[in-house]
Amino acid sequence: MTPKIIAFDADDTLWHNEPYFDEAQERFCALFQDYASSQEILGLILNHQVKNLPLYGFGIKAFTLSMIETALQLTNHQISGKGIEQIIAIGKDLLQKPVELLPNVESVLQQLKGKYKLVVATKGDLKDQHRKLHDSGIGHYFHHIEVLSDKTELDYEKMLGRLECHAEDFLMIGNSLKSDVLPVLNIGGHAIHIPYHTTWEYEKIDFEIQHKNFKALTNIETLLTIL
């Protein structure tokens, strides 16, 4: 495999993210534990997130607005102003979490830099992802960051158009089979899956992938042995 551009997903590929969302959702569930079980509440949040995707896209602001809608539904619109304020605070706390790199990320980037054009390709809030890349201290290993409004085949095709890169010269690395692997393989690119220990419900798929352009690794360090 000799890609020209290697793109890394950010959340749960370069740094920890999902545990912060889990913690935020736990705080939300605790606020409304008199209204429903945690499992029911998490299901409602996800419903609102998915319903709002076409308008809001991904990211913490969308998550915050979906939590507010969930709270309106759970309380039959009886939520207090203080309750709304607490939800907004959960969202703002998420936007200020420290960025903790996953093991071996920096040493791998060090060895890849200069040999390939490295970019970050992530969904989420524009401002938030730029902030995290800055705070991570690894921004200088990358040519730039691409914040995508989604990671469909079309989104990847548009990104490759911007980068003036053919799909066969492109390698995507990430923790989501649904977002980082499948669409990239479908447009003729290469993809490597490095799973994170927990996955957002929305990103789960229930089948296995076998493809000549696909590899699954357990640790980012192994990347160096196959490139």
Which positions touch a copy of itself (CB under 8 A)?
A: 55-57, 59, 61-62, 64-65, 68-69, 72, 75-82, 84-85, 88, 91-92, 95-96, 125-128, 130, 143-144, 147-150, 158, 161-162
**Are 162 and 183 within 8 A, CB to CB?**
no
Q: How far apart are the first and last CA of the chain?
A: 6
Q: In terms of CB distance, is 120 or 184 closer to a copy of itself?
A: 120
CA gap 114, 6 in Å, rounded: 12
Helix, strand or coil for residue 145? strand
Query: Per residue in 27-64, is it b (16+ CB within 10 Å) or e — as a string?
Result: bbbebbeebbeeeebbebbbebbeeeeeebbbbbbbbb
The DSSP code sequence of 49-60 is HHHHHHHH-SSH
Least distance in angstroms from the C-beta of 55 to a copy of itself: 5
Q: In terms of CB distance, is 81 or 212 closer to a copy of itself?
A: 81
Q: In terms of CB distance, is 19 or 139 closer to a copy of itself?
A: 139
**Are 118 and 109 within 8 A, CB to CB?**
yes
Helix, strand or coil for residue 90? helix
CA gap 66, 49 in Å, rounded: 6
Least distance in angstroms from the C-beta of 37 to a copy of itself: 21
Least distance in angstroms from the C-beta of 5 to a copy of itself: 12
Least distance in angstroms from the C-beta of 155 to a copy of itself: 9
Least distance in angstroms from the C-beta of 122 to a copy of itself: 11
Q: In terms of CB distance, is 68 or 227 closer to a copy of itself?
A: 68
CA gap 135, 15 in Å, rounded: 11
Q: In terms of CB distance, is 6 or 220 closer to a copy of itself?
A: 6
Least distance in angstroms from the C-beta of 195 to a copy of itself: 26
- Cβ neighbors of 140 (< 8 A, separation 6 or more) are none
Q: In terms of CB distance, is 55 or 226 closer to a copy of itself?
A: 55
